[in-house]
Amino acid sequence: MSRFLTIRFLTPWYYLAPTILFIFLLVLVPLITGVSYAFYDFDLISGTRDFVGFDQFSRLLQDDKIFSMSLINTLFWTAASLFFQFTFGLMLALILNKGFRGIRLIQPVLFVPWAVPSFLIGLMWVWMFNPVTGPLPYLFEGLGIMEKPENLLSDPDHAMWGPIIANIWFGIPFFAIMLLAARRTIPNEIYEAASIDGISGLDAFRHITLPLMAPTIIITLLVRAIWIANFAEIIIVMTNGGPANSTQIVATYIYDTAYQKMDFGYASVLSIALLFLLMIYGLTLGRIRRKMTTYV
């Protein structure tokens, strides 16, 4: 009996052991080291570092205007990217699920943007937005969005839309794949049974498809939002945070502080601040997810 109990007690940990080992060694230990940078002031010339405690945290709270600005930009960048990626991704997943002629050829092509390295995505869209090399300024002029064919990326009021459009292009396939797979795991029998009861179309979508896809929807929204908030490459390549910090998000600011100003200590403080905010978001969504999984 006691043997049975230990096995029952230990079994989940056998399944989890490889994951924990990988994550502990290659993610968690480095992460803790990275966090510890926040308490040191790095001196590049002498190559030494001094322990300064919480000094660098007060700098963040007292007088960092770029941080508060980049925080608002992060919110806009994340919300807009996520909203369009998810909406279009769900739409695409549902159409792909229905199937159509030529789907075997078209489907892999639609997934391609997800496989393009992010700096190449940035470069590609820089070309597209530039009136000397790309078609988009003329398209915007033709649509009446712009008066003259100008570079969207050099307009401080709207520049953020440039990287957002590039990010939407990149992220639709992610949601499409995940949501398509989730939709595919719903057995057809459920829909058949429902249609006998006279439930179909939009009602079936609301009462069967959405609730059964909810766990996947929530986990993808949760993780994807965290990734987007941390996703600096496209912005660095396209605008480098400019013009006038109008596309500066916290992640690009961290990159700039660490690798341009070589201030790893303060970059770590900024990272911890971002981590803290993302944790609040994560805990909130995680709670919702737990409710939903126990419900389903």
Partner 1 sequence: MKNGKYLIISAFLLFTLFPVFWMLKISLTPDRLLFSEGVVLWPSKITFDHYYAVLVEGNFPDYFLNSFIVSATTAIMVTIIASLAGYALSRFQFKGKIAIITMLLITQMFPIVMVIAPIYNVLTMINLVDSLAGLILVYTAFNLPFACFLMQTFFDGAPVELEEAAMIDGCTRLEALEKITLPLCLPGIGATLGFVFTAAWSELLFALMFINRQSQMTFPAGIMNFVTKFSVDWGQMAAAMILALIPVCIFFAYIQKFIVQGLTAGALKG
Place of tokens 């909203």: 83
Which of 23, 44, 72, 210: binder of partner 1 (CB under 8 A)?
23
How many residues contact partner 1, by CB under 8 A?
Answer: 98
Instruction: Spell out the residues 6+ positions from residue 182 whose beta carbon is closer than 8 angstroms to its own.
Output: 212, 213, 215, 216, 217
Using CB under 8 A, which residues numbered 38 to 67 contact partner 1?
A: none
The answer to the question of residue 33 lying near partner 1 (CB under 8 A) is: yes
| x/- track of binding to partner 1 for residues 211-230 (CB under 8 A) | -x--xx--x--xx--xx--x
Rounded to an integer, what distance in angstroms lies between the CA atom of residue 44 and that of residue 52? 16
Which of 208, 233, 242, 288: binder of partner 1 (CB under 8 A)?
233
Which of 80, 90, 160, 177: binder of partner 1 (CB under 8 A)?
177
Is the CB of residue 163 less than 8 Å from the CB of residue 77?
A: yes
Using CB under 8 A, which residues numbered 268 to 287 contact partner 1?
A: 268, 271, 274-275, 278-279, 282, 286
The pair of structure tokens assigned to 252 is 């690009």
Nearer to partner 1, 159 or 251 (CB): 251
The answer to the question of residue 235 lying near partner 1 (CB under 8 A) is: no
Nearer to partner 1, 4 or 15 (CB): 15
Using CB under 8 A, which residues numbered 185 to 204 contact partner 1?
A: 185-189
Which of 48, 58, 61, 119: binder of partner 1 (CB under 8 A)?
119
Q: How many CB atoms lie within 10 A of CB 76?
A: 14
Helix (H, G, I), strand (E, B) or coil at 42: strand
The pair of structure tokens assigned to 193 is 């049974």
Nearer to partner 1, 186 or 199 (CB): 186
Three-class SS of 269-284: HHHHHHHHHHHHHHHH
Please choose, from the candidates 280, 277, 274, 266, the residue with its C-alpha nearest in 3D space to the C-alpha of residue 60.
266
Rounded to an integer, what distance in angstroms lies between the CA atom of residue 6 and that of residue 12? 11
Which of 234, 238, 251, 273: binder of partner 1 (CB under 8 A)?
251
Give yes or no for a cis peptide into 243 (omega within 30° of 0).
yes
The answer to the question of residue 154 lying near partner 1 (CB under 8 A) is: no
Residue at 94: amino acid letter: L
Using CB under 8 A, which residues numbered 1 to 20 contact partner 1?
A: 9, 11-16, 18-20
Nearer to partner 1, 26 or 244 (CB): 26
